[in-house]
Amino acid sequence: MPPLAVVPASSNEAVERLASMADVTASDGALRRFLHGLPGVDAVGQQARAATLGTRSIKTTAKAYAIDLAISMIDLTTLEGADTPGKVRALCAKGVHPDPTDRTAPKVAAICVYPDMVSTAKAALAGSGVHVASVATAFPAGRASMPVKLADTRDAVADGADEIDMVIDRGAFLSGRYLEVFDAIREIKAACRRDDGSAAHLKVIFETGELKTYDNVRRASWLAMLAGADFIKTSTGKVAVNATPPVTLLMLEAVRDFRAAVGVQVGVKPAGGIRDTKDAIKYLVMVNETLGDDWLSADWFRFGASSLLNDLLMQRQKLSTGRYSGPDYVTVD
Nearest Cα to Cα of residue 27 among 130, 164, 180: 180
Among 75, 99, 159, 165, which one carries the catalytic annotation? Answer: 165
Nearest Cα to Cα of residue 249 among 223, 284, 222, 300: 284
Is there a cis peptide before residue 98, judged by omega within 30 degrees of 0? Answer: no
Cα–Cα distance for residue pair 279/306, rounded to 1 Å? 14
Alpha helices in 10-100 (DSSP H): 12-20, 28-36, 43-53, 60-72, 85-96
> Is 318 among the residues known to form the active site?
no
Cα–Cα distance for residue pair 112/233, rounded to 1 Å? 14
Residue type, 275: R
Contact 280, 274 (CB under 8 A): yes
Nearest Cα to Cα of residue 190 among 152, 228, 223: 228
Cα–Cα distance for residue pair 305/313, rounded to 1 Å? 14
Cα–Cα distance for residue pair 19/28, rounded to 1 Å? 18
Among 233, 279, 282, 299, which one carries the catalytic annotation? Answer: 233
Among 169, 269, 279, 282, which one carries the catalytic annotation? Answer: 269
CA angle (284 as vertex; 282, 290 as ends), nearest 5: 100
Nearest Cα to Cα of residue 265 among 243, 232, 236: 232
Contact 44, 52 (CB under 8 A): no
Distances (CA, A) of 303 to 19, 79, 97, 193: 31, 15, 18, 24
> Is 269 among the residues known to form the active site?
yes
SS3 326: coil
Catalytic residue ranges: 165, 233, 269
